[in-house]
Amino acid sequence: MTSDHRIGPIALPDNRARRVLESLLEDSGISLNGDAPWDPQIYNPDFCARILRQGSLGLGESYMDGWWECERLDELARRLLLHGLGERARPPSDRLMYRLQAGLMNLQSKARAYMVGEAHYDLGNDLFERMLDPTMCYSCGYWKEADSLHEAQLAKLELACRKLELRPGMRVLDIGCGWGSFAEHAARHHGVSVTGITISREQAALAQQRCSGLPVEIHLEDYRDIDGRFDRIVSIGMFEHVGHRNYRAYFETVQRVLADDGLFLLHTIGSNSSHITVDPWIDRYIFPNGVLPSARQVADASEDLLLMEDWQNFGPDYDTTLMAWLKNFEHAWPELAERYSERTHRMFRYYLSVCAGAFRGRDMQLWQVVFSRDRASRYDAPR
């Protein structure tokens, strides 16, 4: 039975697990079964013990299981992170295991590259069509002058095109093209030809359909297999899947296929730390093998290959974007429920809300970095 059928939260047992968890939450402004909209309402007596045992993985899984509710998951996440419970919420054994795996093996190798496509992006185009705006951009919008999600996504696409200084007739490579949002916009409004690559079959099929009649080619392909020569390269929301062991190979690929005097725009979520870590719940349920780069890692990997021309951070805009996606998703859920389970509903609600809270608390950033190759003239980035 899900929590929707329950009358109210339970009286928590007075045990060691509860006392330890409440001591960890002290001065965070969060109370178990409290009155604030960000206070978790508990429906299972084993909640505290599970959280102490499993950390952030247990927190997310127990929400999916209906063990607790929270009116404002986004604010709960923000307060937990500001209180310093982000890394501490991951059991030491989990942190050690991931770092050992990341050090001993390439979690984002070519053999594993299609895992995230199959696990997340191939979940169903109907779900993403209802959650996203008509551009089908699944990355941060640019809200500087936008009043709606659609305006913000169009502004992001146009900002990228302006930063790349697109001109009619140019050949553009889109690494991680998703459902073809940038490819369609750039080809339609800037007269360029675009080659887009993705590791998701569902994305490739819909992107080909959306770009029909335009000078756009969409390929199901790993970035390491790219051939050709391109005047401009763009990568929006894909670098998070590359992995630290592959950053250098990624930039070597870009350098190899980017024309002289070419420009490359990298749009990626960024980490405040260079420590190799991952949230176990996100890794298991949303983006398998994903890892966020740090500024130092981006700079080190691109050094001596490309010239960094500009670096812009508009991370807080991802909070607004995620909350807009959440609103769309909840509005569409009655229709989506005919195909997807309530557990999927709770999984997406938790994912979108918690990530919004993380960006609101500045625990994660959103960077657009422009690189050039053999450019002699000055570069001035638009904003």
Catalytic (active-site) positions: 355
- Cα atoms in the Cβ-side hemisphere of radius 13 Å centred on 19: 3
DSSP element (H, E) containing 39: none
Task: Give the residue from 198, 199, 230 showing the smallest Cα distance to 211.
Answer: 198
How far is 7 from 138, CA to CA, in rounded Å? 37
CA of residue 370 relative to chain centroid, distance = 20
Amino acid at 195: T
| Ramachandran quadrant class, 232 (left: phi over 0; alpha: psi -120 to 50; beta: rest) | beta
Q: How far is CA 33 from CA 36, 41, 62, in A?
A: 9, 5, 15
Tell me the pairing of strands 258-271 and 307-313: unpaired
Task: Give the residue from 236, 200, 61, 177 showing the smallest Cα distance to 124.
Answer: 200
Structure tokens at 234: 């763009």
Structure tokens at 340: 């997807």
User: Could you tell me which residues come within 8 angstroms of residue 98 by beta carbon, excluding any fewer than 6 positions away?
Assistant: 276, 277, 278, 280, 283
